[in-house]
A and B are shown apart, each in its own frame.
Chain A
Amino acid sequence: MKNKQYRQDIIPGIVLACFSTAYLCMIPKIKAFTGLGSTPLTNHFVPYLWGGVLLFLSLWLIVRGILKYRRFKAEGGVVEKTSAKSVISDKREVVASFIALALYVGLMEALGFVITTILYTFAQILILTPREKWKKNYLPAAIVAVITGCVLYYIFKMLLNVLLPSGILAAFNL
Chain B
Amino acid sequence: MILQSLAAVLQPLTIILVAVGTVIGIIFGSIPGLTATMAIVMFLPATYSMSATQGISMLMALYIGGISGGLISAILLNIPGTPSSVATCFDGSPMANKGEAGKALGTGVVFSFFGTLIGIAILVCLTPMLCQFALKFQSYEYCALAIFSLSMVIALTGHDMAKGLISAVLGALLATVGLAPIDSRPRFTFGLFQLNNGFSLVVLLIGLFAIAEVMNFAETVRQKQNYTIRENVKIKGCGFTMREFIGQIPNMLVSALIGIGIGILPGIGGGVSCMISYTVSKNTSKHRELYGTGIMDGVVASETANNATIGGAMIPLLSLGIPGDAVTAMLLGGLQVHNVAPGPLIYEKNGMVVYAIFFAMILASIFMLIFMLLGMRFFVKVLRVPKNYLLPIVLVLCGIGAIGNANAIFDTYAMVAFGLMSYLLIKSKIPTVPMILGFILGPMFEQNLRRSSQLISSDPIMSHPIFLVFMVATVFVVIFSVRANKKEAKQAREAEEKAAAEANQQS
A and B interact physically: yes
A residues engaging B (CB < 8 A)? 1, 8, 11-12, 16, 23, 26, 30-33, 38-41, 43, 45-47, 50-51, 53-54, 57-58, 60-61, 64, 75, 91, 93-94, 96-98, 101-102, 104-106, 108-109, 117, 120-121, 124-125, 127-130, 137, 140-141, 144, 148, 152, 155-156, 159-165
Name the CB-closest residue of A to B47: A160
Q: Which residues of B contact A54 (CB under 8 A)?
A: 166, 169-170, 173
A58-B166, A104-B399 known; A160 vs B49 contact (CB < 8 Å): yes
Are B393 and A148 neighbours in the complex by a CB distance under 8 Å? yes
Return chain B residues, CB-CB under 8 Å to A106. Answer: 413
Q: Which residues of B contact A163 (CB under 8 A)?
A: 403-404, 407
Which residues of B are found within 8 Å of A11, using beta-carbon distances? Answer: 428
Shortest CB distance A94–B (Å):
5
A121 adjacent to B392 (CB under 8 Å): yes
The distance from the CB of A58 to the nearest CB of chain B, in whole angstroms, is 7
> Is B472 interfacial (CB 8 A cutoff)?
no
Contact B445 A97 (CB under 8 A): no
Contact A1 B185 (CB under 8 A): no
- CB contacts (< 8 Å) of B416 on chain A: these are 98, 101-102, 105
CB-based nearest A residue for B163: A61
Between A54, A60, A96, the greatest number of chain B beta carbons within 10 A of the residue's beta carbon is seen for A54
Using Cβ atoms and an 8 Å threshold, which residues of chain A touch B219? 91, 93-94
User: Chain B residues near A60 (CB, 8 Å)?
Assistant: 162
How many angstroms from the CA of A39 to the CA of B446 in the assembled complex?
A: 11
> At the interface, is chain A mostly helix, strand, loop or mixed?
helix
Chain B contacts for A26, CB-based, 8 A? 188
Interface residues of B, CB < 8 Å — how many?
68
Looking at B340-348, B364-372, B447-455, B460-468, the stretch in contact with chain A turns out to be: B447-455
Is the Cβ of B218 less than 8 Å from the Cβ of A156?
Answer: no
Within residues 429 to 485 of chain B, which ones have a CB less than 8 A from any CB in chain A? 429-430, 442, 445-446, 449-451, 453-454, 456
Any A CB within 8 A of the CB of B397: yes
For A105, list chain B residues within 8 Å (CB). 399, 409, 412-413, 415-416
For B403, give its contact among A46, A121, A164 (CB under 8 Å): A164
Whether, in the assembled complex, B121 has its beta carbon less than 8 Å from a beta carbon of chain A, the answer is no
Stretch at the interface among B126-134, B294-302, B324-332, B383-391: B383-391
Contact A12–B222 (Cβ < 8 Å): no
Q: How far is the CA of A120 from the CA of B430 in the complex (A)?
A: 30
Take A38-B183, A105-B413, A125-B389 as given contacts and tell me if A162 and B221 are in contact as well, using a CB distance cutoff of 8 Å: no
A159 to B49, CA, bound (A): 9
Task: Please indicate the chain A residues that have their CB under 8 angstroms from the CB of B397 in the complex.
Answer: 152
Provide the bound-state CA to CA distance between A26 and B189, in Å.
11
User: Which of A16, A106, A108, A156 has the largest count of B CB atoms less than 10 A from its CB?
Assistant: A156
Question: Are B404 and A162 in touch, CB under 8 angstroms?
Answer: yes
